Amino acid sequence: MVQGDFQVADAGNSWTIQQFFEESVRNSPDGIALEYEGDSLSYAELNHRANKLAHHLRDVCGVRPDDTVAILVRHPPSVIVAALATLKAGGAYVPLDPDNPPAVTHRIVEHVGPRAMVVESSTAVGAAFFSGELFVIDVMSRLLGTPDSDPVPISGPADLAYVIYTSGTTGMPKGIAVEHRSIVNTITWRNSYYGFTSDDVTLAIPRPSFDSSVEDILCALTSGAKLLLPRPDRITDRQYLVDLMTCRDVTHFLITPGLYRRLLVGMEAASVKALRSVTVAGEWFTTDLVREHYARLPDVALLNEYGPSENSVCSTVHRLTPTDPTVLIGKPIDHTHAYVLDASGNVVQPGGCGELHLTGAGLARGYVGDAALTAERFVTPSSGPFAGRRAYKSGDIVRVHEDGVLEFVERRDQQVKVRGRRVELGSVAEVLERDSTVEHVALHWNGADTVTPRLVAFVVGPTAQDIERLSAATRDNLPEYMVPSAVIPIDAVPLTRHGKVDTAALAARYEEFLGRPGAAPEPSTHAEAVLLDIWQQIFAPLAVGLDEDFFDLGGDSLSVMDLVAEVEKRMGVQLDNSDPYLGRTIQSLARIIENLQNTETEIS
């Protein structure tokens, strides 16, 4: 068993999240709780708004403990108000991503069966199918005649606090149900470990539908800190985020490694003087990122948090140093225990590898509406190292170091991480296999250690004419981050001599699919030549043509950050993050760059 070194006197398990927040309100009613686009809400103002909606949810919508309220809202402060109101009403909030296709939202809402939905005018169409209680927050809030006093508490530590949905193996997203006492354990530990106070400013980068947002938001609002909310459409705008950190004295933020690697390009210690710690979480990464961080921000702590949603977001933590030979996930947080077992169920000795099992205060209740999966992943063995104790089988293979520190090695199943989010490859295959022409699907993931990771679907059965329909099906039925970069027809899935899928052959087939016959592309302008070189770097080893679509090649919001940074570095031109979406080919983007250069010349 691996235990943490962290000591927190009281796990706070007799409290609920809303009690912690209301304590912050009492301690600092005039302190700034939220800031968004120059507007701010004090703790008292935020509490009053949440209270008015909470009374409505309880008295009109009938929300009671363990009832869920789905939140489909874009406006960041309104998301926070709706979540707090749901908790104060006694229910559990379910954050939905407004950018998901309607079919995904529909499946989740039908699966979780909320007592009510909170939407806004711009997202109300996404709830058109919902027959329950609907609250349009930007329209109906001003009409509320309910009290702004704290509702009488009716939920307790063992009641549900929130449900987070992740990818599932059958095509149906999994709803992970977390109780107050579980997430309170994480929040209590984290506030103590990081030393968050009312002097801190947290930049809330994770989207509300991402599990890291739970601890990010709630740690700020239960420690009296200010929560700085960025515009959702500019989360991958490097200059925008750095400017926020500089102008608003940000002291901490949590971010995925892939996004942080790009953000670091624009960060220097002199420009982010207030920053004292950065947390990376959600993806595997290398020591190159650690060294780059300390080269640019030598006095800013860099911490790696590991933890599945099933154990209330954070299970282990490690403070990274520039001399670390490998990236470690550290030791368990307070009131959490880690057992690393081999295939026979025996505890792995230092130096060995095995599957990580987690026990303790942070465990989720289970999966919504799936008792079989809950029983499979949350076990209570009658014998062995944690006999009689409920544990979560993580599916993660880790190595135990001599000092008890853990190192992530790999997944034991088909789950991968895309931009910090869990993707079960089976859920992508299931969408494609609904089509009657598809006999078999093989999914190829080229790993997160490349500049532009790609998920590619190979399908047996369809003809080339069927591919556009299949591609449209993935766009209509999967969240954007799960949509394959390409759907490619093949005659048969290549196998190795051991009968396993030949991933090298699939990778070669993808390169062949994207390759173009004939002579190498010949750029006609300096801008085209520079862009061609940048694209070849981003999409290596794929062949790149002057008229190929950046996003068809596998580009996404993170590779747009790479592109914008390289154009500025090599050509001295500051593109807007929207420009690559308008100029999607080398030739069209080159024209945008040349127009910007001509405009600057005329002004000078």
Number of domains within the chain: 3
Is the domain of 401 the same as that of 325? yes
Q: What is the pLDDT of residues 308-365, one digit of tens each?
A: 999 999 999 999 999 988 999 999 999 999 999 998 889 999 999 999 999 999 999 9
Of 117-131, 468-482, 509-523, give the range with the top mean pLDDT.
Answer: 117-131
- Pair (335, 428) in one structural domain: no
Cβ contact 506:446 at 8 Å: no
Residue 570 backbone phi and psi in degrees, to 5: -90, -30
What are the tokens at 35? 């800031």
pLDDT: which is higher, 453 or 133: 133
Whether residue 582 sits in one domain with residue 544? yes
Is the domain of 542 the same as that of 486? Answer: no
Based on the domain organization, do 475 and 326 belong to the same domain? Answer: no
Query: Are 407 and 419 in a shared domain?
Result: no
Domain presence at residue 276: yes
CATH of the domain at 572: 1.10.1200.10
Residues 541 and 509 in one domain: no
pLDDT at 416: 66
Least confident of 135-149, 248-262, 554-568: 554-568
545 and 455 share a domain? no
Pair 477, 542 in one domain:
no
The mean pLDDT of 233-237, rounded to a whole number, is 90
572 domain residue, yes or no: yes
Quote the pTM value: 0.83
For residues 470 and 487, the answer to whether their CB atoms sit within 8 Å is yes
Give domain status of residue 450, yes or no: yes
Among candidate residues 484, 514, 544, the one where a domain is terminated: 514
Q: Which of 64, 45, 81 is nearest to 115 (CA)?
A: 64
Q: Give the pLDDT band of residue 519 (cuts 50, 70, 90).
A: very low
Its domain, for residue 531, covers 526-603
Inter-residue long-range contacts of 510-518, CB under 8 Å, 24+ positions, other chains counted: 510/444, 510/454, 510/456, 510/486, 510/542, 511/541, 511/542, 511/543, 513/486, 513/488, 514/486, 514/542, 514/543, 514/553, 515/542, 515/543, 516/543, 516/545, 516/548
Residue 540 — very low, low, confident or very high, per pLDDT cuts 50/70/90? confident
Instruction: Confirm whether 597 is domain-assigned.
Output: yes
| Mean pLDDT value across the chain | 88
CA atoms of 306 and 393, how far apart (whole Å): 15
287-298 per-position pLDDT tens digit = 889 999 999 999
What is the arithmetic mean of pLDDT over 92-98? Answer: 96
- Note whether 47 and 81 are within 8 A (CB): no
Q: State yes or no: pLDDT of 8 exceeds 60.
A: no
pLDDT of the residue at 41: 98
Within this chain, do residues 470 and 530 fall inside the same structural domain, yes or no? Answer: no
Rounded Cα gap, residues 397 and 315, in angstroms: 15
Find the range with the poorest average confidence among 87-96, 451-460, 486-495.
451-460
User: Which residue would you say has higher pLDDT here, 477 or 79?
Assistant: 79
Res 452: pLDDT: 63
pLDDT digit string (tens) for 372-404?
999 999 999 999 899 999 999 998 889 999 889
pLDDT score of 514: 66
Residue 535's pLDDT band (cuts 50, 70, 90):
confident
Residues 444 and 544 placed together within one structural domain of the fold: no
| CA-CA-CA-CA torsion sign (180, 183, 185, 187) | negative
CATH number of the domain at 267, please. Answer: 3.40.50.12780
Examine residue 472 and state whether it is found in any structural domain, yes or no. yes
Query: b/e per residue, 169-190, with b = 16+ CB within 10 A?
Result: bebbbbbbbbbbbbbbbbbbbb
**Dist CA 249 CA 153 (whole Å):** 36
Q: What is the largest CA-CA distance in the chain?
A: 79
The confidence score (pLDDT) of residue 562 equals 86
Q: Is the pLDDT of residue 167 over 80?
A: no
**Residues 222, 312 within the same domain:** yes
